[in-house]
């Protein structure tokens, strides 16, 4: 018998069978406590993660802070809500309407004639300071403005319709006449139908970096035309524009978009 025959005989199950009981014992899990082996680190890691779970109060606080940061970023760069305090934009906007303003215009998107825009008071168009004897609404706005969730009421914002861009020639021949832009007479379906388009005669060319704005309720709006004829200067700096009003979102019965005004300017040439 050679060595290879001896090796085969040494492992032959026919001659040296392994007891079934011994094979089962070799593969059965041990009884009793888990050994201090490879599974111990995994179990310790799971226990460690359970011990490191954030307390409920801290988890709630972090969630609130993250939500606040997101709200501030949205308000700063994307959209901002405003409410309408007067009748100067009737019938398009009524008192106490809430609107959403896109801050991507001007900037990412250009403004167009006919857009409804919100802008900071350019030259004391709004008399007085609402923060001297604030109402509950103003107090709430003052608090929200500290974290960027509302406009600062001390800055005063107005809402009007954009009529003239830089370089445009805007004119009214006389009180009660139709408005003209770059020589084109406008039909303005958005204005108060009970009053004419012009509350006074004027003839202006909009300077660079300025715009000309008017309220839809022309005879109840201290707008560019009103301030121009009263010698106060009627132009608004483009840098003062907060954004373009996109939609009335409250009350729900008033929900509507605000983009139809540009149709009235479809035939207006870019140059006078």
How is the chain split into domains, by residue range?
79-265
Residue pLDDT, tens place only, 146-162: 665 565 665 588 999 99
CA distances from 28 to 21, 22, 23, 34, 174 (A): 11, 10, 9, 13, 103
Q: Which pLDDT does position 74 carry in this prediction?
A: 65
In angstroms, the CA 79 to CA 184 distance is 33
Q: Which pLDDT does position 4 carry in this prediction?
A: 43
Confidence label for 2 from pLDDT (cuts 50, 70 and 90): very low
The token duo for 142 is: 């003052």
- Kind and range of the H or E run holding 226: helix 224-229
**Bridge partners, residue 247, by sequence:** 100, 257
The closest alpha carbon to 172, from 207, 209, 126, 219, belongs to 219
Region 54-80 average pLDDT: 74
Q: How far is CA 48 from the centre of its chain?
A: 42
Q: Is the pLDDT of residue 190 over 80?
A: yes
DSSP 104-156: TTTTTS---TT-EEEEE-SSS-S-S-TTSS--HHHHHHHHHHTTTSS--TTT-
Sign of CA dihedral 135, 86, 230, 207: positive
| Fold topology of 79-265 | Umud Fragment, subunit A (2.10.109)
Mean pLDDT value across the chain: 79
Q: Which pLDDT does position 113 carry in this prediction?
A: 97
Q: Which pLDDT does position 45 carry in this prediction?
A: 56
Residues belonging to the active site: 88, 160
In angstroms, the CA 10 to CA 16 distance is 8
In angstroms, the CA 196 to CA 219 distance is 8
Q: What pTM value is reported for the model?
A: 0.69
The closest alpha carbon to 201, from 173, 226, 178, belongs to 173
Residue pLDDT, tens place only, 220-267: 999 999 999 998 889 999 999 999 999 998 898 999 999 889 999 999
- Kind and range of the H or E run holding 169: strand 169-172
In angstroms, the CA 117 to CA 109 distance is 13
Residue pLDDT, tens place only, 68-90: 776 666 666 678 888 888 899 99
Q: Which pLDDT does position 39 carry in this prediction?
A: 56
In angstroms, the CA 105 to CA 114 distance is 13
Confidence label for 42 from pLDDT (cuts 50, 70 and 90): low
């Amino acid at each position: 018998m050679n060595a290879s025959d001896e090796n085969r005989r040494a492992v032959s199950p026919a001659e040296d069978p392994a007891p079934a009981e011994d094979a089962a014992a070799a593969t059965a899990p041990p009884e009793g406590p888990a050994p201090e082996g490879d599974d111990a680190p995994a179990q310790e890691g799971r226990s460690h993660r359970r011990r490191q779970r954030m307390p409920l109060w801290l988890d709630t606080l972090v969630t609130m802070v993250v939500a606040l940061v997101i709200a501030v970023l949205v308000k700063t760069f994307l959209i901002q809500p405003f409410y309408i305090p007067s009748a100067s934009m009737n019938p398009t906007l009524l008192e106490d309407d809430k609107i959403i303003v896109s801050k991507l215009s001007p900037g990412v998107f250009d403004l167009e004639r006919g857009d409804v825009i919100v802008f900071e008071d350019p030259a004391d168009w709004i008399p007085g300071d609402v923060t001297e004897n604030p109402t509950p609404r103003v107090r709430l706005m003052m608090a929200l403005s500290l974290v960027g969730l509302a406009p600062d009421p001390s800055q005063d914002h107005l809402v009007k319709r954009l009529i003239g861009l830089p370089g445009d020639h805007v004119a009214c021949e006389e009180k009660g006449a139709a408005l003209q832009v770059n020589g084109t007479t406008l039909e303005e379906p958005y204005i108060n139908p009970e009053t004419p388009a012009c509350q006074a005669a004027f003839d202006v060319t909009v300077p660079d970096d300025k715009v000309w704005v008017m309220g839809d309720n022309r005879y109840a709006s201290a707008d560019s035309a009103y301030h121009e004829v009263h010698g106060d200067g009627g132009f608004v700096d483009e840098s003062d524009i907060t954004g373009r009003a996109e939609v009335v979102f409250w009350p729900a019965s008033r929900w509507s978009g605000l983009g139809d005004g540009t149709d009235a300017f479809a035939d207006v040439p870019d140059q006078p």
